[in-house]
Each structure stands twice: as structure tokens, then as C-alpha cells.
Amino acid sequence: MLGVAGVVSSSAQNVYSVNVVGYINLVLTNNFSLIANQLDNGANNLVTNMFTGLPNQTVFYKFNGTTYDNLTYLHTPPSPPMWTPISQRQMTLSPGEGIFVRKPTGVGSINVTFVGEVLQGHLVNPMVAGFEVYSGMVPQAGGITSVHGFAPVNQDTVYKFNGVSYDNKVWLQALNRWNPIGEPVLNVGEAVFIKTATARDWVRDFSVNQ
């Protein structure tokens, strides 16, 4: 999975806007990819609004804390595209969330582009105790703590999906480091599973002028 982010427009005639529009390009080559949308598209961040022109039978899986809700894109021309089941058409992919995408058999890759507002200010991503999927709320690549502001507590575990299985790192408070050594790094448009015993907010204060 390749993630590229950029600013589409942040100023006009030297008058800077409070809102900054950005884009994220992802190339999904694995059968399954765990992705994030780190832009607010102003349309409730619905999967059905953000993804168009997909290969027939592309499937989205969103973890609900126990199992997965799924939503499938169907398109067999000349019939118009449709999403099924109807009960899952309100599925979201908002900044801070994550979702699995399953590529149909025989498809080489899927190109995905997100366009929306780069969130700024005091950003809060609520975390629950247990397993859940999260992402940074800003489209930047870098360390989960040093860049994205995640404050780990003892035994927090980050699981990065590598296309087949998971690479995981555990925060050891007594040693003040991750095990294996090295801070988990999040790519643009990447989500991860995090296991924690402590429900809390993942907070980041961000400005594009930083």
C-alpha cells in the first residue's frame, strides 16, 4: 500500500484560509488492506460517498468491537453501481477510524483518492478498553507518538497489518520503550489495531503552520 498526501489549496492571493484542503492517494495491491481516511470530506465520511469506480465485488470490513460489518460494491455494466447490504450503507470512514478493503480476485490493484479538509486544532480520538482499529487524524507519515501524539500506557500493543498477518509492538512502561525496540510508524492512509486496558482519548494538537 502506497500513501501520498498533499495540500490542494491553502491560500488565495496571499490571503490564507483557516481551512486547508488536502488529498490522499492510495494504491492497494494486497488482497486485504487496512486503510484510513485522514481528511474530512464534509459528506459524513460515508464509504458510499468516498469510493467510486471500484472493481466489482470490492468488499469493506469495519470492526465493530466483536466482529466485522461488511459492505460490498457491485457493478456489472450496464447495470448501475450499488452497495449491499442496505443496512450497512451508513458505514463511515472518518479521520481516526480504519477499515479493511478486500480486493476482488484477479484485480491487480485498486487506486483510491480521498479529498477533504485537513483537521486542525485540538483533535480528540476516543479510545475504548480492548481491541479497536484507529488511525492518526492527520495525513502525515511518522512515529505513532513522536508525530501522531499517541501516549502509550503499560502493555499497550500496536498491531500493524502487513498484508498477510500482523507485526506488533508492546509498550513496556518499566523500560520506557517499545518491544521489539523501535517506535511504531504509521504511513499516510494507514490504520492499525491497538489493544489497551485503559479507555482514554488519543489527543493531538495540530496546525498546518507548525
Q: Are 188 and 3 in contact (CB under 8 A)?
A: yes
Q: Are residues 175 and 196 in the same domain?
A: yes
- Decide: helix, strand or coil at residue 86: helix
Q: Are residues 70 and 151 in the same domain?
A: no
Q: Are residues 58 and 100 in the same domain?
A: yes
Percent of the chain at pLDDT > 90 equals 89
Residues 6+ apart with CB under 8 A from 188: 3, 4, 5, 24, 38, 139, 140, 141
Q: Are residues 36 and 64 in the same domain?
A: yes
Q: Determine the pLDDT at residue 6.
A: 61
Radius of gyration of the chain (CA): 18
Beta bridge partners of 116: 22
- The DSSP secondary structure of 167-193, one letter per residue, reads EEEEEETTTTEEESSS--EEPTTB-EE
**Region of poorest pLDDT, from 13-27, 98-112, 134-148, 176-190:** 13-27
Averaged pLDDT score across all residues of the chain: 92
Instruction: Note the pLDDT tens digit of each residue in 88-143.
Output: 999 999 999 999 999 999 999 999 999 999 999 999 999 999 999 999 999 999 99
For residue 208, what pLDDT band results from cuts at 50, 70 and 90?
confident
Position 114, amino acid: F
Average pLDDT over residues 69-88: 96
Domain of residue 144, residue span: 119-206
Where is the domain boundary, 66, 87, 116? 116
For residue 42, what pLDDT band results from cuts at 50, 70 and 90?
confident
Q: What is the pTM of this model?
A: 0.92
Residues 6+ apart with CB under 8 A from 49: 41, 43
Q: Are residues 129 and 81 in the same domain?
A: no
Q: Are 79 and 42 in contact (CB under 8 A)?
A: no
